[in-house]
Amino acid sequence: MKVLWANANLRLKIGLIAMVFFLVLGFLVPLIPHVNPIIYNTFPKNLKVGMGGTLLGTTALGQDIFWLMVESLRNSILIGLIVGVIGTTVGVFIGLLSGFLGGFADRALMVLTDTFVVIPSLPILILMTSLMKGQAGIPVLALTLGLFAWAWPSRQVRAMALSLKERDFIQTAWFSGEGAVQTVFTEILPFVWTWALSNFMNAVLTAIASESSLAVLGLSPANLPTLGNMIQWSRERNAILLRQWNWIGPPVLLTIVLFIALFLLITGYNDYQTKKRGR
């Protein structure tokens, strides 16, 4: 980490600092004892900032806005992380096997991959979340989003595998008796690791954006606090028309800053790796 920080560019440093802040806010701050923000009427309704012992006031349902925002941030990040792990792991695994094995296995895996690439994900996600009738939890929602997070990474990794398998060290591994799976994970995977980390961060960003889009459309689980749902709940109760900026403003601003932080982290890390390889 010291080497990374010493050689990191400004965007990467800002992204790292911002993500540490979000992780602390989403996962450590909730450890402080507080009233469950999901329960209605725990506080007087529509309190302004700083009133009634609250930091950001309360919603029209008597919920503490600050703690509701913290809970929503944690769930949004969890969804993004789960989808990122699914999309990157499955994409890398299928892409490596497809490119390395070739032949019928390659064709079959690419047909499957291309099917998920060409299918428009948003209508399918809308249909699937509608069938769940707003009762899906974080794992189910993340798995649903993860169905469409692995296809593009798989094609990109396949192209890398096709190039790497022609290298001399791969032929040496073959002659030394290593099997296909062992060769993929011990010889090729280390070359893909840097790209996989960058794709993971991008998948997290895309997943949070997708969930927020579904929530604003009213299709995210209605009982699950996320940044997107928090915005949707405030819209449903006319927070904009009533000028309750302390309700709708924090989740909107937090979502924007979170997206910017992830973007800076991704682009800064890519630039860092490019300069590192250029040395």
Q: Please give the chain's pLDDT, 279 residues, in tens.
A: 677 777 788 998 999 999 999 999 999 999 999 888 888 888 999 999 988 888 999 999 899 999 999 999 999 999 999 999 999 999 988 888 888 777 888 889 889 888 888 887 778 777 777 776 566 678 888 888 888 888 888 988 888 888 877 777 777 777 777 776 777 777 777 778 878 888 898 889 888 988 888 887 777 777 789 998 899 899 888 888 888 899 999 999 999 999 999 999 988 888 888 777 655
Name the phi and psi angles at 4, rounded to 5: -60, -45
Return the amino acid letter for 262: L
235 within some domain: yes
48 within some domain: no
190 within some domain: yes
162 within some domain: yes
Task: Tell me how many domains the chain contains.
Answer: 1
30 within some domain: no
Side-chain half-sphere of 151: how many Cα atoms within 13 Å? 15
1 within some domain: no
CATH number where 176 lies: 1.10.3720.10
Read off the tokens for 154. 């798989």
Return the amino acid letter for 200: F
243 within some domain: yes
Q: How many CB atoms lie within 10 A of CB 186?
A: 11
* Nearest alpha carbon to residue 255 among 232, 271, 277: 232
89 within some domain: yes
Read off the tokens for 264. 């800076």
Range(s) of the domain holding residue 94? 57-278
**With a threshold of 0.85, does the pTM exceed it?**
yes
Helix (H, G, I), strand (E, B) or coil at 133: coil
Helix (H, G, I), strand (E, B) or coil at 49: coil
